[in-house]
Amino acid sequence: MPGMLTVGQLARLRAAKGRAFEGLFLRSMIRHHQGALTMVAQLYARNGGTEPAVDAFARHVQADQEIEIGRMRGLLAKLG
């Protein structure tokens, strides 16, 4: 599934402390949210989402994930 952390990435996250943890966590979550955007794109590329409820859900997911990615990028910028 796109955006999921590997065992190694989870271990690095577990070992990180302080600002290093915060940066690693935010970068990991951005990738995770981008994975959701990839799944939405794949849905539409395969002609999915023609049902109104599925289309509405996919659009909601896309909008929410884009907002969250923007917020997390802002937090990363503050970390420096």
pLDDT in tens, 5-26: 999 999 999 999 999 999 999 9
Q: How many residues comprise the chain?
A: 80
**Average pLDDT across the chain, whole number:** 96
Instruction: Give me the pLDDT at residue 53, please.
Output: 96
- 39 pLDDT exceeds 90? yes
pTM of this prediction exceeds 0.85 = yes
How far apart CA 58 and CA 48 sit, in angstroms, is: 10
- 33 pLDDT exceeds 90? yes
- 3-state class (DSSP) for residue 14: helix
